[in-house]
Structure 1
Amino acid sequence: MGIEWLKPAVFFGSMLYALIGVLVFWISFIVIDKLTPYDLWGEICEKRNLALAIVVAAMCLGIAVIVAAAISS
């Protein structure tokens, strides 16, 4: 198990899966932002809506767990 992760195929495969995971996460956040009746980013940053920020953070964690489970299986 030593330095097996340093092999180019393993390293670039991990980087590719990480980029795919970030891309899927980003696209799903944009889709959810478009589906909601108001601008999530404006509500959180400009109006300082803490409750919405907590809900969006929970949603982000849920999407991240789903993406990680999909990639690792």
Structure 2
Amino acid sequence: MKLRLEKWLERQFDPPPAITTARGWIREGKIYPTPVKVGRAYYVDENATFQDRQTRPSLASRIPR
């Protein structure tokens, strides 16, 4: 089942981030699976996860040179 972005944020974060922040996350691919835009609203799978790729080390940084 898909939830409106606002409702999903309320379930995932306390307090929820601003809607503009969440829309940025969508553009950057940080919510998986990717939300669907219907009209002006985004709908997110209820089991979707936030994945901040910036906090994870890249594989390239582990390879000795």
Q: Which has the higher helix share?
A: 1
Larger radius of gyration: 1
Q: Which has the higher strand share?
A: 2
